[in-house]
Amino acid sequence: MHLLFLDDSHRRKEHLLGVGGYAIDLERAKPIAKGLTEVKRKHGVPQDVEIKWSPPKNHWLKKEFKGERAELYADVLALIIEQNATVFSVVHVLNECYGPTTHLWKEPRTLAWAAREQLKFVAERFHRPFLTGLNSSGFIVMDQFHSRSKEQEIIQTVSITLQFGSRFEKFDRICLNPLSASSINSPQIQVADIVAGVIVGALAKSPYALDQFPALIPQFLFNPPSESAGTFSESVSGYGLKVFPRSATHIGLNLLSTYDEDWWVSSEKIYEAPF
């Protein structure tokens, strides 16, 4: 049994909305929570403080934290590496999507639509190749949406897709409808928040996110190359990282291709180039 923990990241200035997180064996979920407890203790963060990539102005990490947030986040990301988690992310470049450009949708409708489409796409990739490749089953746990009514709408729509299938998948390995949980009470979702924030931030060319992004590279879901080895960008694009709409795919490829010389992909893993 595998769990996929997801959270979202919205960068309004760059018109980016993404969902990101990681899939992990059920038995490794508890060590993630214990590990976050230790990370907080190491950095002097109270246990009741929620770890967030972009904390609001009145958050403890903004007002009271005396350490380096970059070091804190690096230790958080190390948890998914230690537990051999697999990273997933789907991002929309909102100002290139048909809703706001053609139909002049307002932001709330655009955000809800994008979140719904992202959850459906990541469910497809979670089902295949991830769960089918492991001959496993699983379910999705995501952070609560900012609007309760929109959250119910999103979950209901995606649940119907999981029940009856999409154009590409029957979802017979996803055993439950998506579950939502409060991130402040879920250490695993707090870790997903950092994953999502780093990926969306890196697409926005944030130097802070780009500094953290290499830690995620060997954990991305990838499509095994047909030959003995393939490039990192070709294997991860559309699998571990998908950018919508099609006109914006190059944004993801541009980010991933930066690492093609340093990282290779075999049929089994992403690994550092041997020279």
DSSP for 185-237, written as a single string: G-HHHHHHHHHHHHHHHHHTT-HHHHHHGGGGGGGB-----SSS-EEHHHHHB
pLDDT-based confidence at 227, cuts 50/70/90? low
- Tell me what pLDDT residue 168 has: 87
User: Torsion angle of alpha carbons 226, 227, 230, 233, nearest 10°?
Assistant: -10
Residue 241 sits in a domain of what CATH number? 3.30.420.10
- Tell me what pLDDT residue 104 has: 94
pLDDT at 220 over 90: yes
pLDDT at 209 over 80: yes
Give tens-digit pLDDT for 126-154.
999 999 999 999 999 999 887 666 778 88
pLDDT at 228 over 60: no
Is the whole-model pTM more than 0.85?
yes
- Tell me what pLDDT residue 46 has: 98
**Neighbour tally for 257: CB within 10 Å:** 15
CA distance 13 to 7: 19
User: Which helix (H) or strand (E) element contains residue 118?
Assistant: helix 107-125
pLDDT at 105 over 90: yes
Give tens-digit pLDDT for 237-260.
999 999 999 999 999 999 999 999
Structure tokens at 210: 């780009």
- Tell me what pLDDT residue 153 has: 82
- Tell me what pLDDT residue 229 has: 60
DSSP codes joined into one string, 34-88: HHHHHHHHHHT--TTSPP-SS--TTSHHHHT--S-HHHHHHHHHHHHHHTT-EEE
**By residue range, what is the domain housing residue 76?**
2-272
- Tell me what pLDDT residue 193 has: 98
Q: How many domains does the chain have?
A: 1
Q: What is the mean pLDDT of residues 58-71?
A: 96
Structure tokens at 94: 């909102």
Q: What percent of the chain has pLDDT over 70?
A: 98
- Tell me what pLDDT residue 2 has: 98
Give tens-digit pLDDT for 14-38.
999 999 999 999 999 999 999 999 9
Are the C-beta atoms of 186 and 36 separated by less than 8 Å?
no
Under DSSP, is residue 18 helix (H, G, I), strand (E, B) or coil? Answer: strand
